[in-house]
A and B are shown apart, each in its own frame.
Chain A
Amino acid sequence: MTDVVLNAEGLGKHYLLRHRIAGYDTLREKFGENLRRLTMAKRALPGPREAALEEFWALRDVSLQIRQGEVVGLIGRNGAGKSTLLKIISRITEPTEGRLRMRGRAASLLEVGTGFHPELTGRENIFLNGAILGMPKTEIRAKFDQIVAFAEVAQFLDTPVKRYSSGMYVRLAFSIAAHLEPDILIVDEVLAVGDAPFQKKCLERMSEVAAMGRTILFVSHNLGLVRSMCRRGILLEHGRIVCDDFVEVTVARYLEGLEAMASSNLLERTQRRGTGSVRLCRIDIRDANHVITSSIAAGQALQFVFYATRRLPALTCSFTIYDSVGQAITCFDSALQCEPDPANGADVPPFVCELGELFLTPGRYRINAALYCRDELLDHVESAAILDVDPGVSGTRPVMATPGYGSVFMPHRWIGPC
């Protein structure tokens, strides 16, 4: 087909991980390693260094075709290989194996402000950043007014950007990128910035770019956004494509995977963020009679119980409930309500969050949970628990599933016409 703009055949990227403490590669280490190899080779013993080397395929056997004008969502957990794939496509790094054929120019929407120089003024940065993103000077000139208007920074054009508010900074950076017109636009998790109206503007701009027949590769953890922007979704897991289908199918597949994970022991999870000094080890859902369960009828009372490995002063717990399509529904934070409890001894009491009545419609929900200590993230586990909500009754009103029409219900009454 002639309108295939991107054709990957068996792409793979291989890294050698060296487990060590220091971040820098230094010559001393390199020499030491070579020396050890030389001496060890005779005795055929692996040196401690070689034992610490680990092969890691960030990407393996990835084959895909993307056609002109497609808007493709790439989803997957952290470390699944999304960024590596995008890096190969944007030529930042080269694949270890396989081949990629590409037609036209690819440009990526960078993390906000990459290449911005704080000492330069807004005007100077527009030109510099434009050049960095691959826009010819004539094109930047032609679009200069549009960029300024989009970013709403006209007053501050001759102020160094280091004096900008973070909102202005983000708007200017995005605005330059938004006026790029490459054949393939790569958007990697950059829309998570700015205030809501600005985000809306960004999305509109992306839709415009898509409507112009340009190809967009979109990476985001916001599944709602992926579903609304893209028609096709690709799911990566451990560096391989596991699903390449309509975005709804792919998102559903991804969520299934997350749910499967939720049933495993929390401490065994490796996909977590935070310092790790305290970890979540168990999450229970208890019904009105304090019996542990996995499903609750809508409208019933329940408790979420979070067990941490240890107790710290000022330790707080927060969690968010997501619906079956990955949209956040509501969140809870122990820091907002009570004074942090004082530390007490070896006994580790759990965090208990009690809900008098569950206002969720029937369906499956996922819970991401986190532990904080004074704004420092200690532990964050995605899909830490699954909550199944069964049909139930709220007051005298039955609560049924309302797929596609939201997942929250509110106690209410109708004042009839009669």
Chain B
Amino acid sequence: MIQWMPTTPAAAVAHPAPGHPPQERIIEAGRRDSLYLLELWHYRELFYFLAWRDILVRYKQTAAGIAWVLIKAMVTLLVLTLVFGRVARLPSDGVPYSLLVFAAMLPWQFFAGALTDCSNSLVGNSDLISKIYFPRLIVPGSAMIVSLVDLAISCVVLALLLAWHGFAPDWRILALPLLVVLAAALTFGAGLWFAALTAEYRDFRFIAGFVVQLGLYISPVGFSSSVVPANWRLLYSLNPLVGVIDGFRWAILRGTPDFYWPGLAMSIAIACLLLASGLWYFRRTERRFADVI
């Protein structure tokens, strides 16, 4: 074995890169990175930039730009209100029907958008994944941010709508941030499963689309969940979105007549389960992404 000497005299002086103590890293099969959280922290800027990119790119070269969030929300609202409120004449629990629908559309549109974006995020960034290293959790994570921004914009629309109806929420509105956290946890958990599975099996891209399409009808978006017979309520609450949507309505519309607490508890339990298992599965398959994507 030849002893290798530095190529130039200048190279003999060690220059550690600025800000990076030469810490040793060991790479071997099946090794768990115990410092994963620290890694995520190191790559936080990439996280910001990917989210920033997605937000920026979203409405580039569109004339209406960010107004599309509003247009989409208003049209959906109009259709759902007409179909369920006017045509089907479903009960509105004593509030304007459009408010009932819009309070549910906030979490629903967030869920639908974020789940779709999360599922496609790994495949959509496959060139990055197969070329550079970073904690892969960043990709679905930053996809969530775009939907959160959309949610924030929708909240402005909600404020306008409330003002138009002259409807003032009470103290319960303070619970809204917690409910957003619940919705985000639920969506992120499901999104992680779909993202990781889509990376390997493209079937899940279609399954995610299907879930989003059907979900609108089996979740109480266009109607109040009080139309579901009492003895079916628990079974109906197995759809974790039921608890979330009921929660949003409760917080925004000054409470709902017979709020179904077991439904919310079920949502929280399912969200925790999905998030924990999603993180576990994602972490387990993460190291294979570059090979299978």
Count of B interface residues, CB-CB < 8 Å: 53
A69 near B132 with CB under 8 A, answer no
How far, in whole Å, are A94 and B291 apart by their CA atoms in the complex?
9
Contact, CB under 8 Å: A183 / B132? no
Q: A103-B24, A183-B17, A214-B15 are in contact. Are A120 and B56 (CB under 8 A)?
A: yes
Cβ–Cβ < 8 Å partners of B127 in chain A:
114-115
Beta-carbon contacts under 8 Å, A235-293 to B:
245-246
B4 — which chain A residues lie within 8 A by C-beta? 65-67, 70, 232
B231 at interface, CB cutoff 8 A: no
| Candidates A69, A102, A103, A182; contact of B6 at CB < 8 Å | A69
A-facing mask of B11-25, CB < 8 A → 1, else 0? Answer: 111111111101111
Q: Is A364 located at the chain interface by the 8 A CB criterion? A: no
B131 interface hit (Cβ, 8 Å): yes
Which of A131-139, A300-308, A405-413 forms part of the interface with chain B?
Answer: A131-139
In Å, the complex CA distance between A391 and B202 comes to 62
- Residues of A close to B22: CB separation below 8 A: 5, 103-104, 183
- Flag whether B165 is at the interface (Cβ < 8 A): no
Listed from nearest, the 9 A-B pairs whose CB atoms lie closest are A69-B11, A91-B133, A131-B49, A99-B28, A69-B6, A100-B27, A213-B15, A119-B60, A213-B11
> B208 to chain A: closest CB distance in Å?
14
Residue A101, interface by CB 8 Å: yes
Query: What 18 new A-B contacts, CB under 8 Å, besides A69-B14, A97-B29, A102-B26?
Result: A24-B201, A26-B203, A70-B7, A87-B290, A92-B133, A93-B287, A93-B290, A94-B287, A98-B29, A102-B25, A103-B23, A104-B17, A115-B127, A117-B53, A119-B57, A136-B45, A213-B15, A245-B2
Does any Cβ of B come within 8 Å of A110's Cβ? Answer: yes
Given known contacts A25-B202, A108-B132, A182-B17, A210 and B290 CB-to-CB distance under 8 angstroms: no
Residues of A within 8 A of B27 (CB): 88, 91, 94-95, 99-102
Residues of A within 8 A of B61 (CB): 119
Given contacts A96-B29, A137-B45, A213-B11, contact A68 B200 (CB under 8 A): no
Which residues of chain B have a CB within 8 Å of any CB of chain A? 2, 4, 6-8, 10-20, 22-31, 45-46, 48-50, 52-53, 56-57, 60-61, 127-134, 200-203, 287, 290-292
With an 8 A cutoff between CB atoms, is A212 at the interface?
A: yes
Q: Contact between A27 and B291 (Cβ–Cβ < 8 Å)?
A: no
* Chain A residues positioned under 8 Å from B202 (CB to CB): 24-26
Write 21 A-B pairs (CB below 8 A) sorted by A numbering: A15-B291, A25-B200, A25-B202, A27-B203, A69-B12, A69-B14, A70-B6, A94-B287, A95-B29, A99-B28, A104-B23, A105-B17, A119-B56, A119-B57, A120-B60, A128-B52, A132-B134, A136-B45, A212-B10, A212-B15, A246-B2
Nearest residue in B to A180 (C-beta to C-beta)? B17
Known: A90-B132, A115-B128, A119-B60. A183 touches B16 (CB 8 A): yes
